[in-house]
Amino acid sequence: MRGKTVIVTGANSGMGLATTVELARRGAHVVMLCRNEERGRTAWEKAVQQSGSDRLEMMLCDLGSQESIRRLAAQVKDRHSVIDVLVNNAGVVSLKRELTAHGFESHLGINHLGHFLLTNLLLESLTRAEEGRIVNVSSGIYKIGKIHWEDPTLTRGYNVAKGYAQSKLANVLFTKQLARRLEGTRVTANCLHPGAVATNIGVDRNTGFGKSLVGLLRPFFLTAEEGAETAVYLASSPEVKGITGQYFYKKKAQPVVAKAEDPEAARRLWEWSERQVGLSD
């Protein structure tokens, strides 16, 4: 990875931080995208210490704000003409229904639409790489997910599993359609299930609610470092050169259920997403 530029979203904690540290250890210049400046600065210091690398950069980006994403993308392109790897790792789990600044249900708005916009804005820089890679962190919960076309913001019958699963199915469909659209380029796109990882993803950022539950369950779950292994593999391994449009678990490509392989659903989601983030004509 020496000489390569990598962007990791949600890099301030959990798998994002673990992915950052490992790729920095391997010689990459890692741009850590963080929502909060104070937490981001603390994570940057930790990453420098743990990786032993000085090739780490922290930049602010709120994936729930399209203005923030556009501003960040412009800053990245000013600093880095070539991006070798984009790891779309950031994710939220919200026990109650919450909306982004643009009125999207937070799971779909951040986990999918935020990364959809960021990826599209950075595609030109990725195509300049000798071997560009896009790595989307999904989850096995996509199997129970459904794209609620008539009510994507889940105004009726919201629950956390419904919201999270919809966003994770969207991650897989996005990856499949992105890979199709990138045919003929040097850029690949793959997604992954990290396994059951004990992170703070479900902890309320404002109240801290959920910390005690995470603490109780931690012994039964993977560590952040273990959960990051497949993302690091997809970002760096020569074994996956040229492989695209696949869903990985434990560093192995796995088949997906039929609804995640549906090209019409993937196309429809792409076109809907373009309209929501202002990328369509």
Q: What is the pLDDT of residue 209?
A: 45
User: Would residue 164 show up in a list of annotated catalytic residues for this protein?
Assistant: yes
- Measured CA to CA in angstroms, residue 101 lies from 12, 38, 63, 149, 220 at distances of 21, 21, 10, 20, 36
First to last CA, the chain: 37
Superfamily designation of domain 5-276: NAD(P)-binding Rossmann-like Domain (3.40.50.720)
Catalytic residue among 142, 164, 233, 247: 164
Q: Are 248 and 193 in contact (CB under 8 A)?
A: yes
The one-character DSSP state at 222 is B
Q: What is the pLDDT of residues 117-138, one digit of tens each?
A: 999 999 999 999 999 999 999 9
Q: What is the pLDDT of residue 33?
A: 98
Per DSSP bridges, beta strands 133-137 and 5-9 are unpaired
Alpha helices in the chain (DSSP H): 14-25, 37-51, 66-79, 106, 115-127, 160-181, 211-217, 224-227, 229-236, 263-277
Q: What is the pLDDT of residue 195?
A: 82
Q: What is the pLDDT of residue 227?
A: 86
* pLDDT, one tens digit for every residue, the chain (281 residues): 999 999 999 999 999 999 999 999 999 999 999 999 999 999 999 999 999 999 999 999 999 999 999 999 999 999 999 999 999 999 999 999 999 999 999 999 999 999 999 999 999 999 999 999 999 999 999 999 999 999 999 999 999 999 999 999 999 999 999 999 999 999 999 999 998 765 555 444 454 444 444 444 545 467 878 889 999 999 999 999 999 999 999 999 999 999 999 999 999 999 999 999 999 76
Can you say whether the dihedral through the CA atoms of 43, 41, 63, 160 is positive or negative? positive
Indicate whether this model's pTM tops 0.85: yes
DSSP string, 100-133: -TTS-BHIIIIIIIIHHHHHHHHHHHHHTSTT-E
What are the sequence ranges of the domains in the chain?
Answer: 5-276
- Measured CA to CA in angstroms, residue 205 lies from 32, 215, 220, 274 at distances of 19, 16, 23, 29
Q: How far apart are CA 147 and CA 259, in angstroms?
A: 10
